[in-house]
Amino acid sequence: MTRISRRGLLASGAAAGVLAATGMPLRAQQKGGTLRLGLNGANTSDSWDSRTHSDAFMINLGHGAVFDTLTEVAASGELVGELAESWEASADAKVWTFNLRQGVTFHNGKAFGADDVIASLNMHVAEGAKSAAKPIVEPIVEMKKLGEHQVQLTLKAGNADFPFLLSDYHLCMFPAGQIEEAIAKGIGTGMYKVEAFDPGVRALLSRVDSHYKDGRAGWFDSVEVIAINDTSARMNALMTGQVDAVNRVDFKTEALLKANPMINIFEVTGNQHFTFPMLTNLSPFDNVKVRQALKHSVNRQEMVNKILLGHGAVANDIPIGPANQYFASDLEMNDYDPDKAKHLIKEAGLDGLQVDLSASNAAFNGAVDAALLYQSSAKAAGIDINVVQEPEDGYWSNVWLKKAWCACYWSGRATEDWMFSTAYESGVPWNDTQWENARFQELLISARAELDSTKRRDQYHEMQMIMAKEGGTVIPMYANYVDAHSTKLTNSGVIGNAFQMDSSRLIERWWFA
């Protein structure tokens, strides 16, 4: 597990030079070689349209190698500029001005400028386009070109996280006026250009001759990314040296990988978490004491050990994780305490508790087993949990948001506000607990536009505290991202935890030892 120190998000972005300044352990980087990656999540329908990217294969290729975004979350968790060099916000965090990097060209020779930013952002709100990044772009009411290398984006309401959101892997920069061609051929500003691409099968990339990140990243001469959706085949490919790194290690054969001296397993705890949301507008979950009793009747460590086989960390009923900036790691834990749970049930005026818990492995791998563990640990508190095994197909439309208590997962979000406003703001469609707390909602709104990061930290801290205590969801654990690489590869020692494979930027960050 990597401890990440997240510095606050500053209104004026610190950009180039930050990597050197953060004092990353210096290991001599070496240029050269062909990196071969074996990744899952590949489909025959894959394309270079970053709006459609949703799984490891295209995320690593798209924003990780061929394309650039305006901002980038460095491996240390710091927000740095990628195509934007610096940025400034108005006092209400509504108007954002981005100064773009000069002298950047696309792979086809076109110079990068303000028009490209506007055209690329507009792709996500185009008529009929179904982009997952639409919620980020939609609040932009005006995009203004102030100069060849300066754009001003005006938001509907203040959002202090805005530069952070622009690092999203969907928001790649395409050449204006040539977007269709760029989608067909993969023309970006990234360190690697596309030599060959066979959707669902493989991609071959080569290093561009010169790039603004020279000397900081991009050590491989060429990169071959091979689609290996089958888990055993992926592990085999690494074992037999057919690839240099793979994602999603199979826990069942992990011991074999560990026994191989040529292979290293690397894992990070990010924001991915498994949850048991209760509909707090239904009895008995409308009673906060009942919710608290349930929070104290789950043995979190046992779940991490048995469901995740140790590849995770206990969570404290908050959807904010170690990869977030304002993660409150110092809250009092909702420990497994059957006596306290019993007491809380009594305080709720109940004589024992009997509830149904709906689960299916569609929620997350091992969800049914997790529910059964919950059942047995709650027995000691006199709580009778009846595990209802639901069919996997149609789970998200028939069970989640419908059954009073069920199993669910969230991959987490890059910012606190994004996570809270996706699933915990009152009235949003994915609010899976219907939990209403006036103070929580008030803080959510005020923290959103708060540019002072100290004040913001306090606000988010209080929100996490309220949620851990009174919230409607039981979040027992964070699931790690577990990947593996050959010892021929090496890295700076700091591995990003926003997503698997060094936050999907392994291609430009790693090198051959």
Partner 1 sequence: MNSVLKIIAQRLALGLLTLFIVSIVIFAAVNLLPGDFAEAILGQGATPEAVAAIRTDLGLDQHPVLRYFQWLGGVLQGDLGNSFAQANFASFVGDDSGVRTTVAQQIAPRFANTMFLAGVTAAIAVPFAVTLGILAALYRNSVFDRAANITTLSSISSPEFFLAYVLILFLAVLNPWLPSLSNIYDGMAFSERLEKTLLPALTLTLVVTAHMMRMTRAAIINLLASPYIEMARLKGIKPMRVIVKHALPNALAPIINVIALNLAYLITGVVVVEVVFVYPGIGQLFVDSVKIRDIPVVQACCLIFAAAYILLNLTADILSIVSNPRLRHPK
Which residues here bind partner 1, judged by CB under 8 A?
Answer: 38, 43-45, 47, 49, 51-52, 123, 126-131, 180, 183-184, 196, 198, 200-202, 226-230, 232-233, 236-237, 239-243, 391-394, 396-397, 400-401, 408-409, 429
**Closest CB to partner 1 among residues 275, 437:** 275
- Of 125 and 494, CB closest to partner 1: 125
Shortest distance in whole angstroms from residue 394 CB to partner 1? 6
Other C-beta atoms closer than 10 Å to the C-beta of 396 total: 14
CB of 364 to partner 1, least distance (A): 10
In three-state secondary structure terms, 147 is strand
Q: Quote the least distance from Cβ 129 to partner 1, whole Å.
A: 4
Q: Which is nearer to partner 1, 128 or 427 (CB)?
A: 128
Nearest-approach distance from CB 232 to partner 1, in angstroms: 7
d(CA 490, CA 27): 9
Phi, psi for residue 476 in degrees, rounded to 5: -80, -25
**CB closer to partner 1 out of 273 and 296:** 273
Minimal distance, residue 302 CB to partner 1, in Å: 26
How far is residue 186's CA from residue 284's CA, in Å, rounded to a whole number?
Answer: 53
Whole-Å CA distances, 249 to 225, 230, 277: 17, 11, 28
Least distance (Å) between residue 272 CB and partner 1: 13
The Cα 205–Cα 197 span in angstroms is 9
CB of 176 to partner 1, least distance (A): 16
Q: b vs e for 482-513, b when ≥16 Cβ sit within 10 Å of the residue's Cβ?
A: bbbbbeebbbbebbbbbbbbbbbbbbbbbbbe
Query: Given 3-state DSSP classes, what are the helix, strand and coil percentages for the chain, each rounded to the nearest 5?
Result: 30, 25, 50
Cβ closest to partner 1, residue 135 vs residue 382: 135
Torsion angle, CA of 215/219/222/228, rounded to 10 degrees? -130
Name which of 92 and 198 has its Cβ closer to partner 1. Answer: 198
Rounded to 10 degrees, the C-alpha dihedral 292/298/299/305 comes to -130
Q: Which of 132, 149, 75 is nearest to 503 (CA)?
A: 75
180 and 110 Cβ atoms separated by less than 8 Å: no
Nearer to partner 1, 251 or 409 (CB): 409
